[in-house]
Amino acid sequence: MGKPIANPYLVDNWYILSLGEKPVGYYHETITRSGKEVNSAIHMLMRISRLGSEAVLDSRQVFKEDLQGNLQSVRSELLFSKAPSITTAYIRQGVIHVVNEAGGKASSADVFYTGALSGNEGIRLLTLKTLSRVGDSLAYQVFIPDFGKVFKGVRKYTGMEQVELNGKITNVMKVKDTFEGLPTVRESWLDPEGRLLKSSEPNPFGQMTLVRSSETAARTIAAMKTELSEDQYAAAVTRSNVRLPQPRALESVTVKITQNVPGAGLPDFSGSYQQVIRKSKDEVVLKIRTPAPGEMKEPLTTLQREEYLGSSFFINKDDTMAVQLTRQITGSETDYWRKVILIRDWVNTNMTFNAGITMAPSSEVLRNLEGTCVSFATITTTLCRAAGIPSRYLMGLIYVDGIWGGHAWAEVYIQNSWIPVDAAMPGPGGVADASRIFFARTSVKNGLGETMVAGSQVYANVTMEVLSYTLAGREFQAIGDLYHVDAEGYHNAGLGISMKTLAGFTFGSLDKVYPESILFSMDNDQAGQSVKLYQEFVTPRRSLEAILQQYAGETGPAEETICRGNRALKVASDERAVLAVASGNDVYVLVTSGASAGETLQKAIANFIFGKF
């Protein structure tokens, strides 16, 4: 199991890969020697189910080193969608020439460095040569192709531990690797030859571990479908201290971000409409505003304009389909801002959310029209560039349904100012709302690596505290509890809503967050009746009618009505009744089920109070 075998292989090791103690795939390493060259081939395969879709993450890398362990080249192939993205790095003294390819398009860039670069075998040789006693450490440099950057690493000999190796209990070396500029702390257990037996490092979905195993066991795990638990999802996002009303229409938000991992650092959050009010080593206070085109001018150089209008392997605005779609969408429109809105609305209406496609080049997204928010941002950026509008890609956090979660959207250059635009989470206006924070802005000329570095500092590593927000010109302080339930009923100060307790009912489902949009349930178990309240919002593809239909299904025709002075739609049957009431851009949905559902709905409506923003 995992022992060296005869040439041409020096090593052929298989590992089971787990997230939060759930096996989700394998890691396979083979090492060969040819003349004066050592090749390390790594294949990592993960299969995880999330949000109703299965994501298959397939990564293959080949590192070429000389016999002393000096890195000569790297080839990385990522298959996170239907088409691979390939990175090839050629190592020269002081410079790495990087070529990225996807969808038949290639881009290149040079990464400069000083000193020496080590490959996997090089680090192993340094470990055997340098780390002889507990407390010893060594420094090295590596090139990580997924990030497109050189990182300085430190490996420290932290102790000896007993593990089972080939049926025998053996004392093995335990080491800890840290990397400058990354929050990663990786603990590894090494066999007497300095090769990996086991490793553990943080991941947004829980601790990621590798344990040496057999090929049969590893392949069996990789063939299984693994559903991540609700706790694993909760660990990957940051809960909000307040439920925000009308989040897609907020004009400003002031938030404090605190780094929870000592020494991990924070990205550069500064921008024209994202103002850094206060900053320390592990904390930053930001005020995000919704800008108007031309309000906050930022000049672009000729080179910058060319970069934000250009094509690359990931964003190919010269793709025939991109050109044709842009003409079809924008038609005879000549105003650039109205072109942006036409593109945003088309993307929102025609794209299908698919959590299984985590990252895909524009050539694939244009043809399949599916993916995560990354794909929504990719196609928006591509089409805007095809329309002659400088555009770039933003990665950050967005507020939705009680959490701050990872998100991607676009930014367009209109009237000499950068304006955020979001096709996945659009609001009532053209400009993306203020309840979002970017930590990376990029032309994607060289891929998404720079966004991943910043993301590693933020995702699952920070605490977010909303201090205040502005809606319809009125500023609100975020104070008090997220919600509370007392003898009178349910109260949510952030949303400005309350529901009096109906006789015989009790409250539950109070702490659900995205992907759940439910605020509470109120149940009468004895009578088999329930009342549920949801918070939704309108988009170009989701009108009040569409939201009602989502919850009502086939329950009869809709009735136009008024609730607390707001437009509402209602349907009712003996066993199920639904009210969808508009509150600005938000929609509150009351759903009652069980015997006499229509009567229960009327009682719930009479006891439901919400503010009009």
| Helices vs strands, H then E, count in the chain | 11, 38
Task: Give the pLDDT band (50/70/90) at residue 165.
Answer: low
Q: What is the pLDDT of residue 277?
A: 97
Question: What's the pLDDT score for residue 297?
Answer: 94
Query: Quick one: residue 480, left, alpha or beta (phi over 0 = left, psi -120 to 50 = alpha)?
Result: left
For the stretch 212-258, pLDDT in tens is 999 999 999 988 888 777 777 777 789 999 999 999 999 999 999 99
| Residue ranges with strand state E in 6-70 | 9-19, 22-34, 37-50, 53-66
Q: Is the pLDDT of residue 80 over 90?
A: no
Residue type, 224: M
Alpha-carbon distance values, 126 to 25, 118, 121, 122, 132 (Å): 29, 9, 9, 6, 11
Question: pTM for this one?
Answer: 0.90
What average pLDDT does this structure show over 118-130? 95
Confidence at residue 355, expressed as pLDDT on a 0 to 100 scale? 81
CB burial of 364-403 (b: ≥16 within 10 Å; e: otherwise) equals bbbebebbbbbbbbbbbbbbbbbbebbbbbbbbbbbbbbb
* Residues paired with 410 in a beta bridge: 393, 421
pLDDT at 375: 95
The pLDDT of residue 51: 65
Q: What is the pLDDT of residue 4?
A: 45
Say which residue, 147 or 42, is predicted with more confidence. 42
Q: Are strands 403-414 and 391-400 parallel, antiparallel or unpaired?
A: antiparallel
Q: Flag the least confident range among 91-95, 237-241, 315-319, 322-326.
A: 237-241
- 19-23, 358-362, 445-449: least confident range: 445-449
Residue 5 confidence (pLDDT): 43
pLDDT at position 1 is 46
Residue 342: which of 301, 389, 291, 406 has the closest Cα? Answer: 389
Q: 492-518: per-residue pLDDT in tens?
A: 988 989 999 999 999 999 988 888 899
**Alpha carbons 260 and 271: distance in angstroms, whole number:** 23
As a whole number, mean pLDDT of residues 142-164 equals 92
Note the pLDDT tens digit of each residue in 177-187. Answer: 999 888 889 99
CA distances from 419 to 390, 414, 415, 430 (A): 11, 7, 9, 9
Least confident segment among 249-253, 347-351, 570-574: 570-574
Mean pLDDT of 358-373: 91
Q: Of the candidates 509, 506, 371, 329, which has an alpha carbon nearest to the alpha carbon of residue 83? A: 371
**Cα Dmax for the chain:** 83
Pair of tokens at residue 31: 């090492």
Q: What pLDDT sits at residue 8?
A: 55
Q: Which residues contact 549 (CB under 8 A, 6 or more apart)?
A: none
Mean pLDDT of 81-101: 91
Q: Who contacts 220 (Cβ-Cβ below 8 Å, separation ≥6)?
A: none
The pLDDT score that the predictor gives to residue 166 is 66
Mean of per-residue pLDDT scores for the chain: 91
Asked if the model's pLDDT at residue 6 lies above 50, the reply is no
Contact (CB, 8 A) for 140 and 122: yes
Identity of the residue numbered 444: V
The C-alpha atoms of residue 165 and residue 99 are separated, in whole angstroms, by 41
